Amino acid sequence: MANAIIGQSGGPTAVINSSLAGIFKTARDGGIKKIYGMKNGLAGLLREEYIEVDWYIKNEFDIELLKRTPSSWLGSCRYKLPDFEEGSSVYERIFKILNKLDIKYFFYIGGNDSMDSVAKLARYGENIGSDIRFIGVPKTIDNDLDKTDHTPGFGSAAKYIASVVKEIILDNMVYGAESVAVIETMGRNAGWLAAASALSKSEECAGPDLLCIPEVPFDYDEFYNKIEELRKKKKSIVVVVSEGIKTADGKYLCEANNMRSRDVFGHASLGGTALYLTDFLRTQMGIKTRENILGSLQRSASHIVSRTDITEAFMAGGYAVHMALDDETGRMVTFNRLSDDPYRIEVASHAASEVANIEKKIPGEWITKDKGFVTQECISYIKPLIQGELFPFMVDGMPLHIYL
Amino acid sequence: MANAIIGQSGGPTAVINSSLAGIFKTARDGGIKKIYGMKNGLAGLLREEYIEVDWYIKNEFDIELLKRTPSSWLGSCRYKLPDFEEGSSVYERIFKILNKLDIKYFFYIGGNDSMDSVAKLARYGENIGSDIRFIGVPKTIDNDLDKTDHTPGFGSAAKYIASVVKEIILDNMVYGAESVAVIETMGRNAGWLAAASALSKSEECAGPDLLCIPEVPFDYDEFYNKIEELRKKKKSIVVVVSEGIKTADGKYLCEANNMRSRDVFGHASLGGTALYLTDFLRTQMGIKTRENILGSLQRSASHIVSRTDITEAFMAGGYAVHMALDDETGRMVTFNRLSDDPYRIEVASHAASEVANIEKKIPGEWITKDKGFVTQECISYIKPLIQGELFPFMVDGMPLHIYL
């Protein structure tokens, strides 16, 4: 049997290494000879930077530790493959390296840009008659991949966000004085992460009072009025806002504050939305504010993860190996939901080309009529994804990780 | 036996409710009749806002849940008692309310401003011949209280900070590209919280590369040079900075960015230090940066706490009750450290008047010669305080709390 190679691409998640562990374990147990890991995804592969995974992951404990290690263990990249009609030299180089390593199975764990790479590589392979199988494993905290019920990584980010929002809600009411806490989540064009904060709503917690998500154009007057309405009812107000909210004319709220560059995909680096809003609340409305920008921890907090998510991430990796061994290529692993309660899914797959470059947003019918919250249907959709815990291995008071 | 009243004051911690639980349980088991809770500390008491704690905390499970609930369950305040030489009307009012409730034991959980209140109330009580006993229970994530080895709340904040810094270090190296992560901790005049990030250093983690703490005047040239030195050695650089760092002329780094008001104690509301530094790094040094401002979670993340800390917080509460029953007054519970390894402390007490209004900083000999890190002695001091875990009660995928 030939060899396999695994890459991780795009922003990390708390469970991206669980998918890596799932691929590695299933490939190893399935008799694949050598299992390579690209360092920093395709960008690293093009520089012939790779490792043999079993030099580092030697036993079942290492696999468990890898599952509990945040960030991308192999390193990541934001490399975008050119269309091969524009020039095939990069493709020739990649296939030359893969052939040199006797790779037959290529696994790429990533978001929609990564699925674009999987689709392109599979198509190029087909064109040149290569037998290398290219399989994508979905990964993104943003939950914005199409053709799958949800993405590995989202459940843990959702659990993290809902848990810390619940803590910040308690924190914000401590002085009994009027105060608006603005909590900024990631989310460029889709509001899934901000919506996850609604799961903090429970018997003993009122949840956030207002969500501002990219699916709803931001309107200053409406925001002002909603806050004024809330002020009449309560002193401690909590607003959760996606970093990527825009006004109706398509301008990011944070753009005025933001002096940063765009990434290689042309995506603006966002940030500053919460600061902008707290400034608005202070200067225009005279309210005491506090902002909490959840930052990198949304994608790297492995000290609180969803066991459902980490298990599904592992399973998606394993399924990818079975697909490759079954001679499939150019496809991404997907989840179909069979029911919310009891929660049941089936694992399936879809053409990666049809996933790439589409961003799945919160459907309009899951946004409340006043545009300031999500419906019970949306909450019921997210809730199963945050169930269960997998605590880190604690050594000397600290979570243990595995480093490359 | 007469009644007791408990108040919580100042910024919350993840374990301030554990001290409350310790006072309540020990007082109840010790036969104190009614145990009242001030809503929002002295400020609430002056408005006669209080509860009877056992209406809400009915059994051992409630006590355990209270220990695991962040923020101040009774609410807090930033109320400062006037010197009673300046007018005794506030004191008269407080003692009138306390006498009406037949209070003999007054417990106040807080930081140095709160100990100032304990000292003043005890002194006033003595002057008027009152038999009410006033005992302070230390609490602050800042660890800046004098006369005690450390403060309840610091260990959990330290564990949280060290754990998330370890995660952010992994996150920052993911693209293999040059990048400086600036992580901002709380800490107005003392660098304990930033120093705690050094505990992320372990066999598998290099730890942060540079600490900027208020004990060391910030110098732009030195900072520039240190970053340049680090750039020669590594791509992923992590800087942890206390919010309250100042230049040698006493100016807060964040002051230029900061349009906020001062609190009633005249403390400036800080924030923006990390943003200021990332801006400096980007514009003056052309480095890619990412800031993480740890925010409210440093004091309210009860999803990862130190079992040592939460146990000691509970114990401090219990000890306070014994002190009051032994007729002591105007004193604060303290910890004396007997040894680091094995970790051993004894519980004692000190006059609250000598604790109030002093801020304990990191001693000079615990700061490395290059002023950019803390010594092994400092790490050995903090390490025992983060040991052990007490995970939240998880219900439906979320931490359960108890609300008033």
Among the listed ranges A81-95, A320-334, B383-397, which one has the minimum average pLDDT value? Answer: A81-95
Q: Which of A11, A391, A398 sits opposite B166 (nearest CB)?
A: A398
Average pLDDT on B276-298 reads 92
Q: List CB contacts of B28: < 8 A, sequence separation 6 or more.
A: B35, B54
Average pLDDT on A221-249 reads 96
The CATH H-level superfamily of B154-298 is: Phosphofructokinase domain (3.40.50.460)
Asked if the C-beta of A297 comes within 8 angstroms of chain B's C-beta atoms, the answer is yes
Three-state secondary structure call for residue B281: helix
- B388 contacts on A by Cβ (under 8 Å): 397
Instruction: Say whether B154-298 and B3-141+302-358+388-399 share the same fold.
Output: yes
pLDDT number for residue A271? 54
Residue B198 DSSP label: G
Lookup result for tokens 């639980």: B21
**pTM (2 d.p.):** 0.96
Instruction: Return the closest-CA partner of residue B229 out of B165, B285, B292, B278.
Output: B285
Q: b/e string for A170-182 if b means 16 or more Cβ within 10 A?
A: bbbbbbbeebbbb
Average pLDDT on A151-161 reads 98
**Chain A residue nearest residue B291, CA to CA:** A295
Q: Please report the residues numbered 173 through 202 in chain B whose beta carbons come closer than 8 angstroms to any beta carbon of chain A.
A: 173-176, 181, 199-200, 202
Strand-pair partners of A184: A241, A293
CB contact under 8 A, A391 and B396: no
CA distances from B249 to A7, B190, B252, B373 (A): 51, 17, 9, 22
- A163 contacts on B by Cβ (under 8 Å): 303, 398-399
Residue A255 pLDDT exceeds 90: no
Catalytic, out of A113, A116, A142, A209:
A142
Average pLDDT on A32-42 reads 98
Strand-pair partners of B140: none
CB contact under 8 A, B398 and A39: no
CATH number of B3-141+302-358+388-399: 3.40.50.450
pLDDT number for residue B256? 56
The CATH H-level superfamily of A155-299 is: Phosphofructokinase domain (3.40.50.460)
Average pLDDT on A86-96 reads 93
CA distances from B90 to A154, A282, B51, B111, B121 (A): 53, 32, 21, 21, 10
Range list of β-strands (E), A221-373: 236-242, 289-293, 331-340, 343-351
| Higher per-residue pLDDT: B141 or B357 | B141
Average pLDDT on A295-300 reads 96
pLDDT number for residue A272? 82
Two tokens at B203?
Answer: 């066999």
DSSP per position, A108-165 = EEESHHHHHHHHHHHHHHHHHT---EEEEEE--TT---TTSS--TTHHHHHHHHHHHH
Three-state secondary structure call for residue A71: coil
Q: What span, in angstroms and rounded, lies between the C-alpha atoms of B396 and A384?
A: 9
- Give the pairing type, strands B331-340 and A133-138: unpaired
Alpha helix stretches (DSSP H) within A260-306: 273-285, 297-300
Range list of β-strands (E), A188-342: 210-212, 236-242, 289-293, 331-340
Domain ranges of chain B: 3-141+302-358+388-399, 154-298
pLDDT number for residue B269? 45
Instruction: Return the closest-CA partner of residue B302 out of B159, B186, B147.
Output: B159
The crossing angle, in degrees rounded to 10, of helices B112-128 and B89-100 is 80
**Chain A residue nearest residue B292, CA to CA:** A295
CB contact under 8 A, A170 and B394: no
pLDDT one-digit tens code per residue, B132-152: 999 999 999 999 999 999 999
Q: List CB contacts of A288: < 8 A, sequence separation 6 or more.
A: A177, A178, A179, A180, A282
pLDDT one-digit tens code per residue, B254-264: 775 543 433 44
In this structure, the number of other CB atoms found within 10 A of the CB of residue B58 comes to 10
Q: What span, in angstroms and rounded, lies between the C-alpha atoms of B101 and B97?
A: 6
Among the listed ranges A58-67, A82-91, B139-148, which one has the minimum average pLDDT value? Answer: A82-91
A402: distance to nearest CA of chain B, Å? 7
pLDDT number for residue B264? 43
Residue pair A16/A61 in contact (Cβ under 8 Å)? The answer is no
- Give the pairing type, strands B35-38 and B50-52: antiparallel
Residue B15 pLDDT exceeds 90: yes
In this structure, the number of other CB atoms found within 10 A of the CB of residue A379 comes to 17
- A12 contacts on B by Cβ (under 8 Å): 171, 174
pLDDT number for residue A267? 46
In this prediction, residue A253 has a pLDDT band, given cuts at 50, 70 and 90, of confident
Residue B271 pLDDT exceeds 70: no
**Which phi and psi angles does B33 have, rounded to 5°?**
-70, -75
What is the average pLDDT value for chain A, to the nearest integer? Answer: 94
Average pLDDT on B13-39 reads 97
Quote the percentage of chain B above a pLDDT of 90. Answer: 89
Q: What span, in angstroms and rounded, lies between the C-alpha atoms of A219 and A233?
A: 22
Average pLDDT on A118-122 reads 97
Q: What span, in angstroms and rounded, lies between the C-alpha atoms of A105 and B303?
A: 40
Catalytic, out of B113, B116, B142, B309:
B142
Residue A299 pLDDT exceeds 60: yes
Q: What span, in angstroms and rounded, lies between the C-alpha atoms of A280 and A274?
A: 10
CA distances from A278 to A182, B259, B260 (A): 7, 11, 11
Three-state secondary structure call for residue A390: coil
- Give the pairing type, strands A3-8 and B3-8: unpaired
CB contact under 8 A, A397 and B383: yes
Enclosing H/E stretch for A151: none
pLDDT number for residue B276? 86
Q: What span, in angstroms and rounded, lies between the C-alpha atoms of B134 and B121?
A: 7
pLDDT number for residue B262? 38
Q: What span, in angstroms and rounded, lies between the C-alpha atoms of B138 and B143?
A: 10
Residue A132 DSSP label: -
Three-state secondary structure call for residue A114: helix
- B306 contacts on A by Cβ (under 8 Å): 397
Answer CATH for A3-152+302-357+389-399 from 3.40.50.1260, 3.40.50.300, 1.10.760.10, 3.40.50.450: 3.40.50.450
Q: What span, in angstroms and rounded, lies between the C-alpha atoms of A301 and B168?
A: 8
pLDDT number for residue B283? 87
Count Cα atoms within 13 angstroms, Cβ side, for B326: 11
Residue A249 pLDDT exceeds 70: yes
Question: Is A142 assigned a catalytic role?
Answer: yes
Residue A259 pLDDT exceeds 50: no
pLDDT number for residue B160? 98
Q: What span, in angstroms and rounded, lies between the C-alpha atoms of A239 and B329?
A: 44
pLDDT one-digit tens code per residue, B234-245: 999 999 999 999
Q: What span, in angstroms and rounded, lies between the C-alpha atoms of A364 and A374?
A: 9
Q: Which of A71, A170, A397 sits opposite B170 (nearest CB)?
A: A71
Three-state secondary structure call for residue A218: strand
Q: List CB contacts of A234: < 8 A, sequence separation 6 or more.
A: A209
In this prediction, residue A258 has a pLDDT band, given cuts at 50, 70 and 90, of very low
pLDDT number for residue A256? 56
Average pLDDT on B16-42 reads 97
Residue pair A194/A187 in contact (Cβ under 8 Å)? The answer is yes
